[in-house]
Every structure is written in structure tokens, then in C-alpha cells.
């Protein structure tokens, strides 16, 4: 390929037209004149091709500059998300996903830029042209990419530090949740104990034989409140207790030990059974142990 010099082209063009003008006054161009005219045409074509080549290189370099600008915008977005995460303005999961997507976009653009610079270097070398301006621009692009690689490495380090902070947040949060769960368990256990009552059903004779009561007047024995002998209930959800079949038990003959306020309960017969209906749970369960005597010694 010709190494084009604009001054040479201008000189040859001037010479061509001068010779052509002189020759036109005679019989026509000589062989040397024809040869000179062809060389001038070749130089003009080479210059046009060189201009197109340089325009093509410049367009490809412009693509790289656009990508670099896009990468700077993504980096700024990542820095903003990082700041929001540290300030608690954005959920770590959402922020982490956005950062990952941003870094992937930067990596893709960097790979495309490296490939494009390598292609520009190859084209310049294969052209055989000594174009110092283009060579300097390509070298500048390579330095920009190297600097960008260093910036990305630093950014990865900052992101790694942030991930460590996030893990610390998660650990502390998890610890608080565990602590809260433990507290809730203790509170629930406490509530369960506070709302658990115990009852037993039987005749006076049966309960005396089981060493639960002294009699229907004196109530429980000192050690008669053995939980294994009673049925446990949750007083928050239990408002009715089946005493037995109405064939064997009469409602008006049922007796409670210790005695309860009559305004806190009712003894009813319905559907073939006798029921203890609790109408005021707080008042009824002031004593958490209850013996329901289905028959007394007066029967």
C-alpha cells in the first residue's frame, strides 16, 4: 500500500494538469505523461482509502469511549447502593443483587473493550501505515483500560468489605431473633403455666380413697394436689367441662371443691350430659385446682 503524503499528491496533481495542458496544445499526451497521470490517480485513491480507514478506526474508538462512560455510570450507582446499604435505607438482599448485576455489566463491557482494542492494534499493524496519531490514541485507550482494571479490583475489595459487614448485620440480626425467640418461649411458657388449671371428677368416696380430699367440707388434703391425678386444661380456651351422663348424675347434686362464686359458673343438663359452664374465668379460677364431686355423702 502507498504511504501517502498530501504535499506529494498536490505536487503530482499540479504537474499532471500542467503537462496535460501543454500536451493539449500539441498532438496529445506522451507515454511518460500517461504514466504520470496513472501514478497521480493511484495516489488519490490511496489517500481516499486512508481517509476511510482512519474514519473507521475513529468510529470504533468512539464505541470504546461510550462503554467507558457507561461503566462510570454503573460504578456511581454501585457506590450509591453501597452507601444506602450502610445507612440502612435499602435491604441487604436487594442491594446485594443490584451490586452483582452492576459488576457483571462492567465485566462484560471490559471484555468487549479489551477485544476491541486488540482488534484496532491488529488493523493498524496490518495496514502498514505509519499513523502516529492513531497509534497514540490506541495506546491511550490501553492505558485507560489498565487503569479501569485497577479501579475494578479496588471496587471488588470494597464490595468484599461490604459483604463482610452484611454478614455481620445478619449475624447480629439472627442473634437478636434467637434472643427474641427465647424470650417469647419463656413468656409463652409463663403464660401457659399461669393459664393452666387442674380438675378431677369423682364421688367423695373415690376422691378420698385417692387421697385427694379429706371430705366434701374440708376440701383437699395438704398433699392432695398431685398433678398426675388431675386433668390439666387451658383456662383461656376451656369454658365447658363434661361432668358425666345425666342418667347417673343430677346437676343440682354436683358440688365443687373449693367452693366457687355462684356468679362465675352454672351446672347444666343438656343432650344427656351434665356440664360445668364457666361464665367468669378469672373469678372461677382464682384457685387453680378443682374437685368436682358428682355424689356426696348425703346421697
Asked if residue 32 has pLDDT above 70, the reply is: no
Residue 36 or residue 67, greater confidence? 67
pTM for this entry: 0.42
Confidence band (pLDDT; 50, 70, 90) for 268?
A: very high
Residue 139 has pLDDT above 50, yes or no: yes
- Paired residues of 231 in beta bridges: 199
pLDDT(9) > 60: no
Which range of 122-126, 135-139, 277-281 scores highest in mean pLDDT? It is 277-281
pLDDT tens readout for residues 185-225: 667 767 778 889 999 999 888 888 888 888 777 788 777 78
pLDDT of residue 297: 41
Query: Average per-residue pLDDT in the chain?
Result: 75
Quick: pLDDT tens for 80-109.
887 777 777 777 777 777 888 888 888 888
Q: What is the C-alpha separation between 17 and 30, in angstroms, rounded?
A: 14
> In this predicted model, which residue has the larger pLDDT, 236 or 43?
236
Percent of the chain with pLDDT over 90: 18
- What pLDDT is recorded for position 148? 78
Higher pLDDT, 274 or 90: 274
Look at residue 220 and give its three-state secondary structure: strand
212 within 8 A of 220, measured Cβ to Cβ: yes
Among the residue ranges 2-6, 23-27, 193-197, 215-219, the one predicted with the least confidence is 2-6
Q: Using the CB atoms, write b or e for 117-147: b if 16+ within 10 Å.
A: beebeeebeebebeeeebeebbeebbeebee
Query: Is residue 167 scored above 80 in pLDDT?
Result: no
Amino acid at each position: 500500500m502507498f504511504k501517502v503524503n498530501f504535499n506529494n499528491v498536490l505536487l503530482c496533481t499540479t504537474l499532471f494538469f500542467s503537462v496535460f495542458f501543454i500536451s493539449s496544445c500539441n498532438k496529445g499526451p506522451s507515454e511518460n505523461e500517461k504514466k504520470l497521470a496513472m501514478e497521480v490517480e493511484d495516489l488519490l485513491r490511496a489517500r481516499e482509502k486512508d481517509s476511510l480507514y482512519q474514519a473507521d478506526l475513529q468510529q470504533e474508538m468512539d464505541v470504546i469511549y461510550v462503554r467507558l462512560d457507561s461503566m462510570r455510570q454503573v460504578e456511581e450507582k454501585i457506590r450509591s447502593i453501597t452507601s444506602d446499604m450502610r445507612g440502612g435505607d435499602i435491604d441487604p438482599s436487594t442491594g446485594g443483587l443490584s451490586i452483582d448485576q452492576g459488576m457483571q455489566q462492567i465485566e462484560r463491557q471490559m471484555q468487549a473493550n479489551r477485544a476491541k482494542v486488540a482488534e484496532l492494534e491488529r488493523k493498524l499493524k496490518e495496514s502498514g501505515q505509519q499513523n502516529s496519531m492513531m497509534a497514540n490514541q490506541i495506546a491511550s485507550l490501553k492505558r485507560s483500560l489498565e487503569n479501569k482494571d485497577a479501579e475494578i479490583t479496588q471496587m471488588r475489595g470494597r464490595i468484599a468489605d461490604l459483604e463482610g459487614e452484611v454478614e455481620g448485620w445478619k449475624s447480629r440480626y439472627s442473634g437478636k431473633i434467637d434472643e427474641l425467640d427465647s424470650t417469647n418461649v419463656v413468656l409463652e411458657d409463663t403464660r401457659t403455666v399461669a393459664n393452666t388449671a387442674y380438675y378431677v371428677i369423682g364421688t367423695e368416696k373415690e376422691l378420698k380413697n385417692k387421697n385427694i380430699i379429706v371430705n366434701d367440707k374440708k376440701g383437699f388434703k395438704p398433699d392432695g394436689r398431685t398433678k398426675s391425678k388431675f386433668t390439666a386444661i387451658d383456662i383461656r380456651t376451656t369454658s365447658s367441662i363434661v361432668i358425666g351422663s345425666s342418667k347417673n348424675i343430677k346437676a343440682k347434686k354436683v358440688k365443687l371443691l373449693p367452693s366457687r362464686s355462684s356468679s362465675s359458673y352454672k351446672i347444666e343438663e343438656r343432650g344427656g350430659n351434665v356440664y360445668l359452664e364457666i361464665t367468669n374465668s378469672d373469678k372461677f379460677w382464682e384457685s387453680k385446682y378443682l374437685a368436682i364431686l358428682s355424689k356426696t355423702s348425703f346421697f
